[in-house]
């Protein structure tokens, strides 16, 4: 009898060790997000050139609102701890009215080719930049780059030339990219969904359809913030089409016993949980570097997950309110220590022109409400409850962990979700808006990741 038990156990062990199980993919979400009922006629799939344009009436209305702004006196020595400090906000508004040249920034935005195409009932805006030249016999690698909130496609303007023309920037010419930067539906110049339930899987499905429409059957993806989740979902939907997934932010949506034990004991026994010294430095003390940050920095997410339209309506009506709401994120999420400065450290990493250009994209498009709704659509059913939360990612994955990201996720945690991590690097500096803040660092990490995937042909080994 004992022999039979061992034989059964041995057979089961061999089965689990050597049997191959097809990894479940995430279903493509074929929705209709346009107004009214889906028409019976075939959707227009044409790709139309687009340019940013602003009427004089819109600018006159903006300046009138800026002139009539009401400011609240900040508390003494409060700096940015209570949010955007109105002393500095006055200076930003003064620059906005008297020195900022939106027409010049429109020219900057229109320097790269932009297009619109209708997918699932709504117009999708995207920037599409091809390499200025290619070495003979070499093809450009398609790269889909997805922004987050409260950012926009403009975040990628400084990294685009480093990827489409790396040789001219001292980064070699072995890997040259054709970059596609769409605006998430409801952000920037992409039409907002007219129906409920447009979430990250919906966006991933739309962008997958966009890439196929552009003629790309295989491509790389890159994202942070909301772009992290959209690109992750895209890799789950179409693992045979996504050659590699590069992320500059990762979050864990399902915590188990191993996570809890590593939180309690990882500081003292890091090796036992796969933590490196840098993981320990960034994560502990856990109450301060995780729980305190969640309580102090994620109030906005609770508002946007529950009643986004309430605060959104006010922001959509006030350019100064909109600026205060967005600038606070560019301060804290770039470096939490910037909260100790009266100017929020905003111009230590960004120019006012760049910050105001991003804000103007939200203002002239009137997209702040629809962009905030994206949180509700993704989180209203709970964290870790969706199908994509329960599926792993088999696609070759590269992670650039920037030191000032709001929450640090160690590789030991990330690999439970991303089972094929081929590159995980602790970046030397930078925060949440990596492409905007440290374009060269991010470009180098993308290049080394793609180099590894290509040389080892890792995309062909997915699931092996």
The string of pLDDT tens digits covering residues 179-189 is 999 999 999 99
What are the structure tokens assigned to 344, written together? 């929020």
pLDDT at 406 over 70: yes
Torsion over CA: 187, 190, 193, 194 (sign) = positive
Q: Is 175 a catalytic residue?
A: no
Picking from 91-100, 250-259, 407-416, 455-464, which range would have the lowest pLDDT averaged per residue? 455-464
Report pLDDT for 461.
64
Q: Which residue has the tokens 């996570």?
A: 259
Q: Contact, 311 vs 318, CB < 8 A?
A: no
Place 2 in a pLDDT band, splitting at 50, 70 and 90.
very low
Which tens digits make up the pLDDT trace of 301-314? 999 999 999 999 99
Task: Tell me yes or no: is domain 47-254+285-463 CATH 3.30.450.40.
Answer: no
Report pLDDT for 384.
80
Place 253 in a pLDDT band, splitting at 50, 70 and 90.
confident
Q: Is 67 a catalytic residue?
A: no
Burial of 41 (0-12, 13-18, 19+ CB in 10 A): exposed
Strands (E), 156-198: 177-182
Contacts of 312 (CB under 8 A, 6+ apart): 368, 369, 372, 373
Place 381 in a pLDDT band, splitting at 50, 70 and 90.
confident
Residues 147-169: what's their mean pLDDT?
A: 98
Residues 414-418: what's their mean pLDDT?
A: 95
Place 457 in a pLDDT band, splitting at 50, 70 and 90.
confident
Q: Contact, 51 vs 110, CB < 8 A?
A: yes
Which tens digits make up the pLDDT trace of 94-133? 999 999 999 999 999 999 999 999 999 999 999 999 999 9
pLDDT at 241 over 90: yes
Residues 255-260: what's their mean pLDDT?
A: 88
Contacts of 367 (CB under 8 A, 6+ apart): 186, 187, 188, 192, 361
Residues 31-51: what's their mean pLDDT?
A: 95
Report pLDDT for 382.
81
Q: How many CB atoms lie within 10 A of CB 72?
A: 8
Active-site pick, 225, 279, 335, 445: 225
Spatial strand order of the sheet with 177-182 comes to 47-50, 114-119, 122-129, 177-182, 141-146, 219-223, 242-247, 397-401, 421-426
What are the structure tokens assigned to 409, written together? 């996720």
What are the structure tokens assigned to 321, written together? 């309110």
Q: Contact, 432 vs 334, CB < 8 A?
A: yes
Residue predicted with more confidence, 354 or 382: 354
Which tens digits make up the pLDDT trace of 73-102? 999 999 999 999 999 999 999 999 999 999
From residue 418, how far is each of 39, 310, 401, 422, 458 by CA, in Å? 39, 36, 14, 10, 14
Report pLDDT for 464.
52
Contacts of 361 (CB under 8 A, 6+ apart): 152, 153, 154, 188, 189, 367
- Among the residues of 129-256, which ranges form H helices? 160-164, 200-213, 226-237
pLDDT at 14 over 50: no
**Strand bridging mode 47-50 / 114-119:** antiparallel
In percent, the amount of the chain with pLDDT more than 70 equals 94
Place 23 in a pLDDT band, splitting at 50, 70 and 90.
low
Which tens digits make up the pLDDT trace of 314-330? 999 999 999 999 999 99
Residues 182, 180: Cα–Cα separation, whole Å: 6
Q: Which pTM was predicted? A: 0.93
Active-site pick, 246, 375, 408, 418: 375
Q: Is 375 a catalytic residue?
A: yes
Residues 221-238: what's their mean pLDDT?
A: 97
Q: What's CA 259's distance to the chain center, in Å?
A: 24
Report pLDDT for 418.
97
Q: At CB < 8 A and 24+ separation, what contacts does 308-316 make?
A: 308/369, 308/372, 308/373, 308/375, 308/376, 309/369, 309/372, 309/373, 311/372, 312/368, 312/369, 312/372, 312/373, 313/369, 315/368, 315/369, 316/366, 316/368, 316/369
Q: Buried (b) or exposed (e) across 257-284, using 16+ Cβ within 10 A?
A: eebeebbeebbeebeebebeeebeebbb
What are the structure tokens assigned to 380, written together? 């209203």
Domain boundaries, the chain: 47-254+285-463
Place 462 in a pLDDT band, splitting at 50, 70 and 90.
low
């Amino acid at each position: 009898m004992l022999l039979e038990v061992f034989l059964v156990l041995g057979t089961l062990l061999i089965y689990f060790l050597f049997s191959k199980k097809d990894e479940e993919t995430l279903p493509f979400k074929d929705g209709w997000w346009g107004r009214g009922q889906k028409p019976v006629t075939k959707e227009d799939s044409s790709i139309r050139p687009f340019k940013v344009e602003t009427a004089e009436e819109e600018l006159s209305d903006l300046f009138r609102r800026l002139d009539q702004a009401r400011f609240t006196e900040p508390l003494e020595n409060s700096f940015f701890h209570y949010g955007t400090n109105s002393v500095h906000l006055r200076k930003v508004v003064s620059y906005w009215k008297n020195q900022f040249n939106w027409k010049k920034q429109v020219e900057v935005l229109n320097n790269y080719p932009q297009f619109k195409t209708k997918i699932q009932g709504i117009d999708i805006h995207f920037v599409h930049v091809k390499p200025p030249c290619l070495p003979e016999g070499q093809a450009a690698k398609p790269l889909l780059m997805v922004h987050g909130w409260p950012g926009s496609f403009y975040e990628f303007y400084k990294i685009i030339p480093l990827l489409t023309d790396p040789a001219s920037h001292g980064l070699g010419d072995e890997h040259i990219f054709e970059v596609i930067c769409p605006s998430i539906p409801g952000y920037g110049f992409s039409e907002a969904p007219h129906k409920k339930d447009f979430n990250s899987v919906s966006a991933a499905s739309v962008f997958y359809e966009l890439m196929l429409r552009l003629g790309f059957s295989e491509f790389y993806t890159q994202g942070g913030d909301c772009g992290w989740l959209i690109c992750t979902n895209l890799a789950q939907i179409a693992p045979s089409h996504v050659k590699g997934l590069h992320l500059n932010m990762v979050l864990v949506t399902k915590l188990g016993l191993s996570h809890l034990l590593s939180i309690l004991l990882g500081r003292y026994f890091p090796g036992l949980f796969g933590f490196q010294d840098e993981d320990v430095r960034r994560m502990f003390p856990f109450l301060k570097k995780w729980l305190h940050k969640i309580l102090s920095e994620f109030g906005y997410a609770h508002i946007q997950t529950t009643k986004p339209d309430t605060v959104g309506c006010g922001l959509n009506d006030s350019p100064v309110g909109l600026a205060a709401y967005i600038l606070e994120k560019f301060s804290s999420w770039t470096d939490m220590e910037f909260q100790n400065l009266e100017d929020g450290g905003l111009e230590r990493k960004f120019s006012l022109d760049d910050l105001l250009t991003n804000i103007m994209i939200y203002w002239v498009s009137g997209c702040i409400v629809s962009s905030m709704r994206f949180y509700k659509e993704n989180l209203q059913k709970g964290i870790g409850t969706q199908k994509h939360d329960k599926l792993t990612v088999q696609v070759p994955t590269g992670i650039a962990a920037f030191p000032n990201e709001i929450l640090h996720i160690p590789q030991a945690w990330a690999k439970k979700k991303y089972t094929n991590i081929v590159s995980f690097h602790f970046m030397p500096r930078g925060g949440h808006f990596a492409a905007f803040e440290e374009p060269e660092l991010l470009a180098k990490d993308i290049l080394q990741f793609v180099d590894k995937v290509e040389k080892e042909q890792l995309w062909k080994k997915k699931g092996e």
